[in-house]
A = this chain, B = another copy of it.
Amino acid sequence: MTRQQLTEQIFKKRSYLCVGLDTDPEKIPSHLKGHPDAMFEFNKAIIDATHDLCVAYKINIAFYEAHGVKGWDILERTLRYIPEGIFTIADAKRGDIGNTSAQYARAFFETIPFDSITVAPYMGEDSVKPFLGHPGKWAIVLGLTSNPGAEDFELQQYADGDLLYEKVLKTVSRWGDTGNTMFVIGATQASSFRRIREITPEHFYLVPGVGAQGGSLQEVSDIALIKDCGLLVNASRAIIFASGKEDFASEARVVARKYQQEMAIYLGKV
């Protein structure tokens, strides 16, 4: 999906919501737990209930890999079930030497044809480049993440004054362009968003950390929204596990709609 196609969807749906399918079989409603295809049935119900309110689904690959071959089968069927026109993210945090990253690109751009994959930048240019240069596909590179561990390395200062994540933004943004590279910026890092927009004024950000992790949608949107939006804000647990009962899908819709309605207001101002 190109940037223009994504932006059209955002303004049509008045939403930059991404729903995270972190489908943990231990957390799905008990009435589904006995179902032979429980994870897929859960995903199907969540997608049915939310697809008109969101513009993206982010599938957290770990939750599928944890089930081996069976998990990969559920992953493939879930991706195929997502309606046309919705941006799909393999949240996989991959990155390795060039010939190996090329295999990961093949896994998530061809074999299971996602629009994008999250990428870890630690190993540098040849680990990221194989994810660029696929028309309509995106590398979403870790910038400043939402978790406490961001303090350990990402927020440490280099001798030239840049924090590690700032150096990552500056360096990685030179390898690709604003039509094939996004950055992961945690919503819990709102105080840094102004600086981040200065460094990368035109990139899209994938913003996790709203909801269960405590980030503020308003704060992020106030600072980081740009003319063609430039944001995908993800909520996973806050939506998909909004209720642990039979009404899980309709309750997921209630939460997704609340996000969408708030987003419509912020989008009206850009």
Contacts and interface: CB of A to CB of B under 8 A. Distances in A.
Among A100, A128, A154, the most chain B Cβ lie within 10 Å of the Cβ of A100
B154 A142 contact: no
Nearest to A171: B152
Contacts of A157: 158-159
Contact-residue size bin, chain A (C-beta under 8 Å from the other chain): 35 or more
A123 B120 CA distance: 9
Interface in A85-126: 91, 93-101, 103-104, 106-108, 111-112, 120-126
B159 A104 contact: no
A18 to B, nearest CB: 16
A123 to B, nearest CB: 5
B146 A168 contact: no
Nearest to A74: B69
B67 A69 contact: no
Interface string A131-166: 000000000001001111111111011110100100
Contacts of A149: 97, 123-128
Q: How many copies does the complex hold?
A: 2
A107 B95 CA distance: 18
A265 interface: no
A199 interface: no
A266 interface: no
A171 to B, nearest CB: 6
A97 B94 CA distance: 14
A71 to B, nearest CB: 8
A62 interface: yes
Contacts of A126: 147-149
Contact of A107 (B22, B62, B103, B167): B62
A5 to B, nearest CB: 25
Contacts of A124: 147-154
